[in-house]
Amino acid sequence: MALELIKNPSLAERTSLNLGGTAEVEVVLRDARDLDELGNFLATHALRPFVIGEGSNLLAPDEHLDMALIRAATPPGPERVEKVDNKMIVRCGAAQRLPGLLGWAQMAGLSGMEGLTGIPGSVGGAVAMNAGSYGTEFGDVITRVRLWSPMQGLVWVDVSRCVFGYRHFSCTVTAGKALIWEVEIALTESSPKAVRSVMKDVYDKKKSTQPVTAKTAGCVFKNPVGHSAGMLLDEAGMKGVRLGGMAFSDIHANFLVNLGGGSSAHALELLEMGKIAVLENSGITLETEVILL
Ligand SMILES: Cc1cc2nc3c(=O)[nH]c(=O)nc-3n(C[C@H](O)[C@H](O)[C@H](O)COP(=O)(O)OP(=O)(O)OC[C@H]3O[C@@H](n4cnc5c(N)ncnc54)[C@H](O)[C@@H]3O)c2cc1C
């Protein structure tokens, strides 16, 4: 079957910041059989490939990009696989939404991911970013990841061959960045009520400290060791600072918000202003967490 190709996909429509121009094409992968076709496509088109999840950690420029977005459209799972050493192994497709996986685990009474409540995006994005909050990182529960690359095809990679760090994932098996296709995680059996109670606490805490319903990409800078980037930006006077339709949130300074009609040019300028202000105020260089396309 021929690949599904979307010409000139809008990046603003595909990112939670609602910013960006267009890419050259989006390749939609409906199932694993499309991966061979994807290999052929990438070999015959001189376009920069970029795997896109739910776009909740991306800042795309206002211009057109000579890029092929690759999106896995079918979200198989989550499903129970087997019980190993008192843990329930759950398999889930990368295109599944992370909140959907958390909701499923809650209903099934499976514990281990409650700290990730409130993080949007896909399961693939959560692996690639090792998404985390309140002391839980997605990498903590992963047992193996199924990766695809043009050279190696689809391979299951054990967690022992993966490197999970602060907003970092890589693996020693595939050369370069691979497409994350599926993941297996190990969860502890608990009760739906107990899991829901922790998830509610986490969400209530986030709601009171973060602009959870605004157009954002979450935290735009990584926390430097021993510091909170939000606090550093606040101390440097950046909380609430606005440029055009973009601003550092007045609820949490590390969240860049599109107030409406924002542009990437303004977003990038604000990021630079924030970096300079923090460097001058505290001598610390901030590193971006949001992926700049
Ligand atoms: C309101 C809000 C709150 C947030 N809170 C948090 C938080 O508490 N903690 C946190 O860590 N993050 C947080 N984020 C950021 C974001 O939600 C996470 O980084 C999320 O895991 C990104 O998933 P995504 O599917 O949107 O990925 P995208 O934004 O689409 O992509 C992010 C990166 O992942 C890669 N990627 C995506 N899918 C795949 C795949 N299948 N294979 C290979 N690579 C892939 C992309 O190439 C890109 O490099 C927040 C964002 C928002 C908007």
Going by C-alpha positions, the residue among 56, 44, 47, 57 that lies closest to residue 26 is 47
Contact 138, 127 (CB under 8 A): yes
pLDDT tens, 15-48?
A: 999 999 999 999 999 999 999 999 999 999 999 9
CA distance 238 to 115: 28
Q: Is 289 among the catalytic positions?
A: yes
Is 18 near ligand 1, meaning CB less than 6 Å away? no
Q: Which helix (H) or strand (E) holds 34?
A: helix 34-44
Contact 154, 32 (CB under 8 A): yes
Q: Which of 167, 171, 182, 184 is labelled catalytic?
A: 167
**Arithmetic mean of pLDDT, 151-166:** 94
Q: Which residue has the higher pLDDT, 172 or 125?
A: 125
Provide the mean pLDDT of the chain: 95
**Arithmetic mean of pLDDT, 82-92:** 95
Which residues on neighbouring strands pair with residue 59, listed in sequence order? 292
**Arithmetic mean of pLDDT, 211-234:** 95
Is 180 near ligand 1, meaning CB less than 6 Å away? yes
Contact 158, 172 (CB under 8 A): no
Contact 210, 255 (CB under 8 A): yes
Q: Record the pTM.
A: 0.96
| Residue of 57, 113, 212, 258 best suited for mutating to test ligand 1, as the one with most atoms within 8 Å of CB | 57
* pLDDT on residue 263: 97
Q: Is residue 110 pLDDT above 70, yes or no?
A: yes
Burial grade of 172 (CB within 10 A; 0-12, 13-18, 19 or more): exposed
Contact 133, 115 (CB under 8 A): yes
* pLDDT on residue 65: 97
User: Residue 175's pLDDT band (boundaries 50, 70, 90)?
Assistant: low
* pLDDT on residue 76: 75
**Arithmetic mean of pLDDT, 220-246:** 97
Chain position carrying tokens 């739906």:
192
Q: How far is CA 227 from the centre of its chain?
A: 22
User: Residue 11 is encoded by which pair of tokens?
Assistant: 């990046």
Q: In angstroms, how far apart are the furthest CA atoms of the chain? A: 57
CA distance 169 to 155: 16
Contact 260, 245 (CB under 8 A): yes
pLDDT tens, 179-200?
A: 999 999 999 999 999 999 999 9
Q: Which helix (H) or strand (E) holds 162?
A: strand 162-165
Going by C-alpha positions, the residue among 265, 285, 145 that lies closest to residue 222 is 285
- Within 13 Å, how many C-alpha atoms sit on residue 108's CB side? 20
Q: How far is CA 102 from the centre of its chain?
A: 15
* pLDDT on residue 118: 96
* pLDDT on residue 176: 67
Domains of the chain: 4-72 (3.30.43.10), 79-209 (3.30.465.10), 229-292 (3.90.78.10)
Which residues on neighbouring strands pair with residue 182, listed in sequence order? 93, 146
Is 57 near ligand 1, meaning CB less than 6 Å away? yes
